[in-house]
Structures are given as structure tokens and as C-alpha cells.
Amino acid sequence: MGRIYFTDEQLKDLSVNPFVKKASNKAITYTDEFKEYYVSEYNTGKTTRGF
């Protein structure tokens, strides 16, 4: 399988997301605030599909 890269349009959309710290065509880095929110929601029983 080949690697999937983000398009310029997808990178533009990611750049306005407040939970995205940095995005490149290969990866997304999320903010610490999002990571804390994610873990707290996960610990209350929400699944990853609920985000």
C-alpha cells in the first residue's frame, strides 16, 4: 500500500481547525488541549467514532 498524502485543500481546512497545532502533507499534530479533551471524553465512555 502506498502512503496517502493530504491535498492542498485538506491542508487549508486543517489550518483553520483550532485543535490542529500543525499539519503537513504527511501528518497532523494536535494541540495539547485537544489531547486532554479527547482523553477525558474517552474516559467517560465515548468511543472514537463519537468525536
Count: domains in the chain: 1
User: Which one-letter DSSP state was computed for residue 25?
Assistant: S
23 belongs to a structural domain: yes
Give mean pLDDT, residues 8-33.
Answer: 97
E-assigned strand segments in 1-51 = 20-23, 28-30
Whole-structure pTM value: 0.75
17 belongs to a structural domain: yes
Containing structural domain, residue 27 = 8-46
**Core vs surface per residue 24-45: b (16+ CB within 10 A) or e:** eeeeeeeeeeeeeeeeeeeeee
Give mean pLDDT, residues 27-48.
Answer: 93
30 belongs to a structural domain: yes
15 belongs to a structural domain: yes
Q: Which cell goes with 35?
A: 489531547
Q: Which cell goes with 9?
A: 485543500
Cα radius of gyration rounded to whole Å, the chain: 13
Residue 3: what pLDDT?
86
38 belongs to a structural domain: yes
2 belongs to a structural domain: no
